[in-house]
Structure 1
Amino acid sequence: MKQPLIGSYSQDDCLFLLKEIEPDFYTVEHKEKLIQSGKLHYSQMVSQESKPSDEYEQLFLSLMKKYKQQLATEILQLSHLIAEKIQQPVCVVSLVRAGTPIGVLVNRALNQFSEFDSVHYSISIVRDKGIDINGLDYLLNDLNIPPESIVFIDGWTAKGVITKELKAAIQDYNQQHNVAMSDDLYVVSDIGGTADHSVTLDDYIIPSALMNSTVSGLISRSVINEQIHEDDFHGCISYQHLQEYDYSNWFVDQVSACFEQQQYKAPVLITSEQRNTRYQQTQQYIKKLMQDFQVSDINRVKPGIAEATRVMLRRVPDLLLVKDKLNPNIAHLIRIANEKGIKITELDDMPFGACALIKDVR
């Protein structure tokens, strides 16, 4: 029988529905060329990760100090929303890996404050490839988890690519297996207006977005290459060499230490009209950016502070667009851009705090 993977979290906090594979690392530049030329899909490759610089680490710590209470309050509100909606013991299924630390926190909040028990698994979902079917089979068939108790969680939305991927995959799975799993997506921050449930539409920095594996259980993002066989979970690399720099447990402990009973309540409801307005704003502005900066591939446009952060850390950035250079939420982006010699352009009409354009390396 397949067994979930234990990252650097405790088993009570998170089990990964992933298979550890042998690393075959690509440089960021080589990976970008292969992705853009269409020779390999981004999910087939992974890069080595190194420890963050001392300055960057200090920035992460200072942003944690500033935003951990806000994030804790929003996690409690999201958890309340989930308990109200599900009305039975919950199986939190976070999307590897931006969703993973958020899933850990939601799981803790549900167990601490709701009347229902909760368990947490982290599953792979990949653009153009869908969700890990073997992961869903494992939950429903091996663990006998009721499909109605499954709740999908991510950290934030941007363009809505993963939202669409999730909905298509779950609808397909339900049809093929004759089950009624909800394809609803729950996130903290729905800046793209594409999630079903969120606490805010604001584009602010969720501190876990600053780090890679060192805030996600020392696990890489998911990989689907020749080492993954038909019955396997999607793959991942374990970054054990970063063990002494691992903030995964510290991050969730710091945020959950801020949980307070009186904050476990329903968030201010975001209406479908507000969400739709945000969706239209985001989509229209992305089109405008593509025209203004002559970008032909939408996959090279990454709106929102969190997505821009990932581009600056993991891809080959071409340009950093910001709404306001003095916004404290983007201090880390300004720093990385300056370190890498990336041009920064201010656009005060942007509906989000930042946007990164990936370089055309073909």
Structure 2
Amino acid sequence: MKSRKKTFGSYSREDVIFLLKDISHAELENGTEEREKSMQTGGHYSESLPIEYQPSQDYMNLFHQSLDEHKWKMAAAIRTVAEKIYRSKGSDLVLVSLARAGTPVGVLIKRYLSFAYQISVPHYSVSIIRGRGLDLNALSYIVKKHGSEAVQFIDGWTGKGAITKELIQSVSGFNSGQQESVSHSLAVLADPGECADIYGTREDFLISSACLNSTVSGLVSRTVLNKQYIGPHDFHGAKYYQDLASLDLSNYFVDAISALFPELSEQTVDMDSDAGKTWQGLKDIQTIQEEYGIENINLIKPGVGETTRVLLRRVPWKILVQNSGNPELKHILYLAEERNVPVEVFPNMSYSCIGLIKPINGGEQ
């Protein structure tokens, strides 16, 4: 089984090990319009990569402003999630973050556990792809090295629950085929979709790392599953954008949050069991799908993080916001204006905002 080179990614190996095949040599980037057409006419998003968005100085100022405004909330959410994980599994634990959005969160949870309990738990970042599943070669590697009971999956936030369902299906199939007992429990900072097992909050708040792409995720691309580069025994692939090193804020971001751990208030973390999965977010999406006549539910991307991705990497049709005066949405409104994307107020939803992707037929589906 092929793994990555030791130099892959800009994080320290003490923070995370990427179980990804290095395909930095591959020419996979396509223009946004071309990639969107491919995805909506039978191609799969994991076979190519978007061109990395290079933000303006104004946008970078918004990133730094959002980090300053939300860093305490993120630090508190990290503590809450980490304490719940530790209570559940103790020190016999391996963190498995879902690349990319889960990676900085996993780094921070690992750092918190080191700070609070003086333990160094393994942390891997692996690929999961909607419609293709979790990288089972990577999971098999982890289980052989650490056992099945220790695994805790990590992501940044939930949307409508597609990745949650993908994780459940993949892990269940793995357990059945390998006679293992890996838990598909998913821990996230923000769970507005109400479909995670462990969460810091169900508020749809801005996790600042969502504002950027590889430059806040270890200079690692989205993960790739393209048969031209990935064999049956390989880990899923990714590119390492070393040429963006001068713009890299990956370690700056995690350092800014982890520096706050000693200063968090002594207030006891609410360790009551998290509320069950209601999948309320998916119900809201189905209402919007019907109201706007959108046939393909995959063209609806809910939550601050997913809406940001739509504006950075897809072809947006319009943005729905629960409250246009919400300070969490400054960067959303900036990007929408920059791209001439209309913004509509849609108050009756559990998300702060939702991004709607333009159907390739040009109609409003």
| Fold shared per TM-score above 0.5 | yes
1:295-334 equivalence runs, <5 A: 295-334=294-333
Deviations 1:206-253 (A, max 9, x none): 000101000000001100111101111101111122110000000000
Whether the aligned pair in 2 keeps the contact of 1:95 and 1:123 (CA below 8 Å) is yes
Alignment gaps of 5+ in structure 2: none
Residue aligning to 1:219? 220
Amino acid across the alignment from 2:251: N
User: For the residues of structure 2 that align with 1:331 and 1:346, how far apart are their CA atoms?
Assistant: 15
Aligned to 1:241: 243
- Corresponding residue number in structure 2 for 1:135: 138
Instruction: Please say if 1:24 is aligned against 2:25.
Output: no
Alignment partner of 1:36 out of 29, 35, 40: 40
Describe how 1:247-262 pairs up with structure 2 within 5 A: 247-260=249-262
Structure-to-structure mapping, 1:43-58, within 5 angstroms: 43-58=46-61
State the AA in 2 paired with 1:325. Answer: S
Compute the displacement of 1:302 (Å).
Answer: 0.7
Shift of 1:116: 3.9
Per the TM alignment, residue 315 of structure 1 is displaced from its structure 2 partner at its CA by 0.5
How far is the alpha carbon of 1:270 from its aligned partner? 6.0
Comparing 219-228 with 252-261, greater Cα deviation is found at 252-261
Amino acid in the other structure paired with 1:349: N
* Map 1:163-178 → 2, pairs under 5 A: 163-178=164-179
Q: Find the counterpart in structure 1 of residue 146 from structure 2.
A: 145
2-structure distance, mates of 1:270, 1:87: 16
Report the identity percentage.
Answer: 38
- Matched to 1:8, the amino acid is S
Cα deviation 1:181-228 (Å, max 9, x = unaligned): 111000111100111111211001000010100000000110011110
Do residues 100 (structure 1) and 103 (structure 2) align? yes
1:5-42 alpha-carbon deviations (Å, 9 max, x no partner): 5310001011111011113211111010001011x111
Q: Which whole-Å CA distance do the structure 1 matches of 2:327 and 2:132 have between them?
A: 36
Does structure 2 retain, via aligned residues, the 8 Å contact 1:80–1:114? no
Q: What is the total number of aligned residue pairs between the two structures?
A: 355
Single out whichever of 118-127 and 1-10 deviates more from structure 2: 1-10
Structure 1 CA distance, aligned partners of 2:31 and 2:236? 21
Cross-structure match for 1:67: 70
1:122: which partner in 2? 125
After superposition, the C-alpha distances for 1:299-324 in whole angstroms (9 at most, x for unaligned) are 00011111111101010000011011
Question: Residues of 2 paired with 1:269 and 1:139: CA distance?
Answer: 30
Distance 1:264 1:224 in 2: 44
- For 2:101, the aligned partner's letter is A
CA-CA distance at 1:267 after TM superposition: 3.2
| 2:122 aligned counterpart, secondary structure | strand
SS of the residue 1:159 aligns to: coil
Query: What SS does structure 2 have at the residue aligned with 1:221?
Result: coil
The amino acid of 2:84's aligned partner reads L
Cα distance between partner residues in 2 of 1:176 and 1:361: 39
Does the 8 Å CA contact 1:113/1:264 hold for their aligned counterparts?
no
CA gap 1:263/1:76 in 2 versus in 1, 3 angstroms = farther
User: SS of 1:107's equivalent?
Assistant: helix
C-alpha distance in 2, partners of 1:178/1:23? 39
Report what 1:228 is aligned to. Answer: 230
Conserved? CA contact 2:3–2:235, under 8 Å: no
The CA deviation string for residues 75-133 of structure 1, in whole angstroms up to 9 with x for no partner, is 01111111110023321100000101001100111122126431111000011111111
In structure 1, distance between residues paired with 2:148 and 2:282: 32
2:201 matches 1:203: no
Q: Secondary structure at the match of 2:347?
A: coil
2:353 and 2:129 map into 1 onto residues whose CA distance is 24
Describe the SS at the equivalent of 2:49: coil
Letter in 2 for 1:146: G
User: 1:178: how far off?
Assistant: 1.3
1:67 is displaced (CA, Å) by 0.6
Asked if 2 retains the 8 angstrom alpha-carbon contact of 1:93 and 1:151, the reply is yes
**1:77–1:264 contact (8 Å) kept in structure 2:** no
- Aligned equivalent of 2:3: 3
1-side partners of 2:129 and 2:266: how far apart?
34
Residues 263 and 160 of structure 1, relative CA distance in 2, 3 Å threshold: farther
Contact 1:219 1:239 in 2 (8 A): yes
- Preserved contact between residue 124 and residue 131 of structure 1 (Cα < 8 Å): yes
